[in-house]
Amino acid sequence: MEGVRGSNPLSSTSGRAQGPDRHGPGLVRSRTFAPMRDVTLRPVGAGVVTALVGFTSAFVIVLAGLEAVGASHAQAASGLMAVTVLMALGSIVLSLSTRLPVTIAWSTPGAALLASTGAVEGGWPAAVGAFVVTGALVVMTGLVPALGALITRIPAAIAQAMLAGIVLQLCLGPVTGMAANPWAVGPVVLVWLLALRFLPRWASPLAFVAAAVVIAVHLSLAGTPVHAAALVPRLELTAPAFTLGGLVGIALPLYLVTMASQNVPGMAVMRGFGYEVPWRRSMLVTGVGTVVGAPAGGHGINLAAISAALAAGPEAGEDTSRRWIASVTSGVLLVPVGIASAAFATLVSLAPEGVVPAVAGLALVRTLAVSLKAALAEPADHVPAVTSFVMAASGIAIAGISAAFWAIVVGLVVRGVLRSHRARA
């Protein structure tokens, strides 16, 4: 099972993955008459945009999530470097081997889940163990079709409602930040709003640039020194510990969120552009990458969903057979960016009150909107979706198990009860 076809992202297919350039004479003609400048420069430019937008719009969320589950500043910086370099290598490997614009990303919803979950029994080592288990589950999904099929049976309304409840807490960051420190947070929100109007794709990256300026001004006025040692990249390895709280409170919700909000939608996005991405190979690469990066603090890598369109869409050139160059370019650029992630983490750690939560919240506003829309798409699922949303948004852990897990359980129970009642009626 190397590819996917039809409405089921896990359906089997024969033959190697096919790019859209092989699907009809019209697309072949576009390759024949594509100007040389388009063939060479546009995919490279799209790859640069993919890398910069993908990293700057969400790395703050990754740092916040890792620190929430017990990582120190150095361990969180190590985790950021691990996932950045691994998703870069994953993009390069899959794009070169398939000649398709396959883009690998870190799990932004997964990082948001960690930020809302908090520390579990066993602390940071237990979180690292949960990352290892998550990667192993992704590998099993690639090897065992039935496991992947089971994930796709989770109703989209419940999965999206859980995700919306998770990110809601982070989306409150700009509100609480404005209340606590309006002079520092206000410019960030203003830049984000103006960019959303005129340069929507760059809204989150420009908000981070505004935050960086605010932090620089704050450090200048306060006279806070920045030590060169804090800017040097280094891996902080942690031996994983496997606990029940880590397994149920982090690993299972992280796996579900990653599959439901990243891998499956990522396949759908690529199919929308005419590309059939090899499912098994993608799961093996991302699952093994997650396991390898876990001891360094990486929470997981997966197929890109939103940012996949940047490398696979028309902006990567009219020649659809060469858009894979965009994904490779993105990966090549992300390697040095990942190595320099210690500097980004240090910058974030020196931010004045409210600035970092505001940037993280602004980056997730669009995710919240899309999740709420998907959760309420079917009127019959409104009540189950809302109960799942409320449970996830509460952030309350029961029996040491995170609210995200209970959100799925509660949503499925309510949905089952209501459907059985309708069936009897």
Q: pLDDT tens, 88-135?
A: 999 999 999 999 999 999 988 899 999 988 888 889 999 999 999 999
Residue in 11, 365, 27, 415 with CA at minimum distance from that of residue 200:
365
Query: Does some domain include residue 137?
Result: yes
Q: What is the pLDDT of residue 34?
A: 47
Q: What is the pLDDT of residue 137?
A: 95
C-alpha distances in angstroms, 170 versus 110, 175, 251, 387?
13, 10, 20, 19
Q: What is the pLDDT of residue 20?
A: 43
For residue 10, give the amino acid letter: L
Average pLDDT of the chain? 85
The three-state secondary structure class of 313 is: coil
Query: Does some domain include residue 260?
Result: yes
CA distance 122 to 244: 9
Q: Is the confidence at residue 154, as pLDDT, over 50?
A: yes
CA distance 89 to 56: 18
Report whether 303 contacts 282 (CB < 8 A): yes
Query: Does some domain include residue 10?
Result: no
Q: What is the pLDDT of residue 37?
A: 54
Q: pLDDT tens, 80-94?
A: 999 999 999 999 999
Query: Does some domain include residue 115?
Result: yes
Query: Does some domain include residue 302?
Result: yes
CA distance 313 to 318: 9
Percent pLDDT > 70 in the chain is 88
Q: What is the pLDDT of residue 67?
A: 94
Query: Does some domain include residue 18?
Result: no
* Burial letters 154-188, b for 16+ CB under 10 A, else e: bbbbbbbbbbbbbbbbbbebbeebbeebeebbbbb
The stretch 410-420 carries a mean pLDDT of 88
Which of 51-55, 151-155, 218-222, 416-420 comes out lowest in average pLDDT? Answer: 151-155
Question: What domain count does the chain have?
Answer: 1
Q: Is the confidence at residue 179, as pLDDT, over 50?
A: yes
Q: Is the confidence at residue 421, as pLDDT, over 80?
A: no
SS (H, E, C) 13-35: CCCCCCCHHHCCHHHHHHHHCCC
The stretch 36-56 carries a mean pLDDT of 80
CA distance 323 to 275: 11
Q: Is the confidence at residue 419, as pLDDT, over 50?
A: yes
Q: Which residue has better confidence, 211 or 145? A: 211
Q: Is the confidence at residue 3, as pLDDT, over 50?
A: no
Query: Does some domain include residue 232?
Result: yes
Confidence of residue 9 (pLDDT cuts 50, 70, 90): low
Q: What is the pLDDT of residue 230?
A: 66
Say which residue the tokens 């000649």 belong to: 99
Q: Is the confidence at residue 19, as pLDDT, over 50?
A: no
Q: What is the pLDDT of residue 221?
A: 83
Sequence-distant (6+) residues with CB within 8 A of 12 are 1, 145
Q: Which residue has better confidence, 72 or 396? A: 72
Report whether 267 contacts 279 (CB < 8 A): yes
Q: pLDDT tens, 348-405?
A: 888 898 998 999 899 889 889 988 998 999 898 999 999 999 998 988 877 767 788 8
Backbone torsions φ then ψ of 104, nearest 5 degrees: -105, 140
Whole-structure pTM value = 0.81
Query: Does some domain include residue 372?
Result: yes
Q: What is the pLDDT of residue 23?
A: 40
Domain range enclosing 244? 25-424
